[in-house]
Amino acid sequence: MIASLAADAEKEIPSITLTPEASVEIVRFVAASEREADMQRYRVCAVGGVAVSLLSVVSVLGQGAQQPQARIDTVYPRHAARGQTTVINVAIPSRDAVQAAEISPSTGITVSGIKGSGSETEQAIGWWEITLDVAKDAAPGDRSLVLVMRMGRSAPTTISVPTHVPTISDLRIAPPQSNQPTVELRLVAADAAADLGASPYVWFTAGCGGEPIVGAIRGTVSAGVVRAALPNLHKAAAGGTAAAGKCDLQVRVTDSTGIESNTLKTTVEFRN
């Protein structure tokens, strides 16, 4: 199901509906942050009592003879810590392969890898991983990121080198129980600035087959451990028909000021 937008030139990836018991309450639509601009929306659902924000990526399909400059739809994380290697996930409405990535100003930051592919789907959303090596003495502040493709260059988007970032480790998923709509996610978090907050957002990206599922859930913090209830993402990816299966999961958190942590990866097996 593809929702029709105001202009014929715009199409949206089908909204993902999480239906653990065939009931989803649409709570509200909220505007995306300025960093994501008008190319994205967050859909907030109540899933078995758990609030989940799902990211819809909207692509503008150019018409006419002149190809418009491709605009990067999604970037996460937007913060690259000093002295670390960070993988930036990028979604761009283009079937074209990304040949290079440019950072400006580039002092202290090296693009060490590009991985991904353009999309052959109707929405033509290509997903790419841009690996950045940031020097320990890199100056804090904003940088512009531009993707270079055979057909041209993307519009610039902003990433930042912060003065500090939260650090997460020891990601664990409690064994899922049969007929349960959620599983418990646990991780250890440390923040030198002590501004993680009592209920940080836990951002996730799940690869369960097909387009990645991107979303956020509220976590709780106790004694440095963040807990969050993760819905059955495999069922969401399968359109509510196949609840069992494995999903490759990436997780990060944001502190109360919006600074993003490092990313952890694991595999989750959901059961019927």
List of domains in the chain? 10-60 (no CATH), 74-161 (2.60.40.10), 167-270 (2.60.40.10)
For the stretch 9-18, pLDDT in tens is 333 333 333 3
Pairing of strands 245-254, 201-207: antiparallel
pLDDT, one tens digit per residue, over 25-74 is 222 223 333 333 333 333 333 344 444 545 544 333 334 444 567 888 88
53 neighbors 43 (Cβ within 8 angstroms)? yes
Phi/psi at 234 (5° precision): -65, -40
φ/ψ (deg, to 5) at 37: 60, -160
Helix (H, G, I), strand (E, B) or coil at 236: helix
Model confidence, pTM? 0.62
pLDDT tens per residue across span 165-219: 899 999 998 876 666 778 889 999 998 888 898 999 999 988 887 778 888 999 9
Q: What is the dihedral of CA 1, 37, 45, 245, to 10 degrees?
A: 60
Task: Identify the sign of the CA torsion 262, 199, 170, 250.
Answer: negative
Per-residue pLDDT tens over the stretch 83-100? 999 999 898 888 888 999
Contact between 130 and 90 under an 8 Å Cβ cutoff? The reply is yes
Q: What is the mean pLDDT of residues 16-27?
A: 32
